[in-house]
Homo-oligomer: A and B are copies of this chain.
């Protein structure tokens, strides 16, 4: 079988971590008797500077030709960030209607963390991915008068909440049977109370799953204080964003956190991307941690049904990380991106 992969390396360290990941995926697939066919798109900040748009108008159609998309990162200091974010990653998520963003966090043995006692941490954030605070609606009033108002409108729909909720309940059912919904209904009166209501209703179809509702502020503290009390979290676009960066700390930081933007049950390619950004401060130095991107690749393989190849990638990453000589700077080591990549490949070949 041939896996048709669309690759969007993007900006900053994006191309570096993607370059480290693609051979890993190829090797894993070939070991299982499959092939990888890669089409690369030069979308991102440079294209924006050159052509005024981070991606072409038919970008969504182009990537639909692929089975899945591997995305690096977007953002560069000389381009207003929202241009690249809306012009590329938020744009694609919304145009492809990728309903949920899955953000698993797992503590790998041997990786140091700033939080004590993270052994065995293994949780997944199911993030609504198309709307909420990210809907882009709102406006300004009294601009320039000295009494300016910035009005930001968040839209939460039953449809989007239901889609994310079903995904979360199914996942929780397959895992520990415990789902934590994150809202802020004591302070926000219209959006999050709808979440509470709809998720409770969806839960009636999943009687084996125990649902709890936790305020986002309390959840932020609990994420660090009692991470093993958590298994599957369901959150809005904004809360999922904040909590997933935070959860990454439990696994050693942003360099360790993969994600998958998917539309479950539909024939639309998912976008798989590390949670980290383009990290301009270390871009071009060859020292970025490629693990988040590799693990995103493993999620991609899993979702395409190549669970054997996915396991090869994950096992090789885990084995590599056990040795501190293969830790990049973010993990307190001094391995380069290329060294980690070749260690992972080497481990895979000797498996």
Which chain A residues have a beta carbon within 8 Å of chain B's beta carbons? 75, 81-82, 85-86, 90, 114-117, 133-134, 136, 138-140, 146-159, 184-195, 198, 216-218, 220-221, 224-225, 237-238, 241-246, 248-249, 253-254, 277
Determine the chain B residues whose CB is within 8 A of the CB of A154 once the complex forms.
Answer: 151-154
Determine the chain B residues whose CB is within 8 A of the CB of A152 once the complex forms.
Answer: 153-154, 156, 188-192
Cβ-closest chain B residue relative to A237: B187
Determine the chain B residues whose CB is within 8 A of the CB of A134 once the complex forms.
Answer: 187-188
In the assembled complex, how far is the CB of residue A164 from the closest CB belonging to chain B, in whole angstroms?
Answer: 14
In the assembled complex, how far is the CB of residue A276 from the closest CB belonging to chain B, in whole angstroms?
Answer: 9
Cβ-closest chain B residue relative to A84: B186
The 11 listed contacts between A and B (C-beta, < 8 Å) are A82-B189, A115-B224, A146-B158, A148-B198, A149-B158, A150-B194, A151-B156, A152-B191, A153-B153, A221-B248, A224-B224
Q: Given A154-B151, A156-B152, does the pair A221, B146 have CB atoms closer than 8 Å?
A: no
- B241, A187: Cβ atoms closer than 8 Å: yes
In the assembled complex, how far is the CB of residue A138 from the closest CB belonging to chain B, in whole angstroms?
Answer: 4
- A155, B151: Cβ atoms closer than 8 Å: yes
> How far does the alpha carbon of A218 sit from the alpha carbon of B184 in the complex, in Å?
20
- B254, A85: Cβ atoms closer than 8 Å: no
Determine the chain B residues whose CB is within 8 A of the CB of A191 once the complex forms.
Answer: 138, 150-152
- A193, B246: Cβ atoms closer than 8 Å: no
> How far does the alpha carbon of A248 sit from the alpha carbon of B114 in the complex, in Å?
15
- B246, A221: Cβ atoms closer than 8 Å: yes
In the assembled complex, how far is the CB of residue A129 from the closest CB belonging to chain B, in whole angstroms?
Answer: 12
- A157, B148: Cβ atoms closer than 8 Å: yes
Determine the chain B residues whose CB is within 8 A of the CB of A75 once the complex forms.
Answer: 186
Determine the chain B residues whose CB is within 8 A of the CB of A186 once the complex forms.
Answer: 75, 81-82, 85
Cβ-closest chain B residue relative to A221: B245
Determine the chain B residues whose CB is within 8 A of the CB of A217 once the complex forms.
Answer: 241-242, 244-246
Determine the chain B residues whose CB is within 8 A of the CB of A114 once the complex forms.
Answer: 115-117, 224-225
Determine the chain B residues whose CB is within 8 A of the CB of A242 once the complex forms.
Answer: 216-217, 220, 242
- A149, B156: Cβ atoms closer than 8 Å: yes
Cβ-closest chain B residue relative to A86: B189
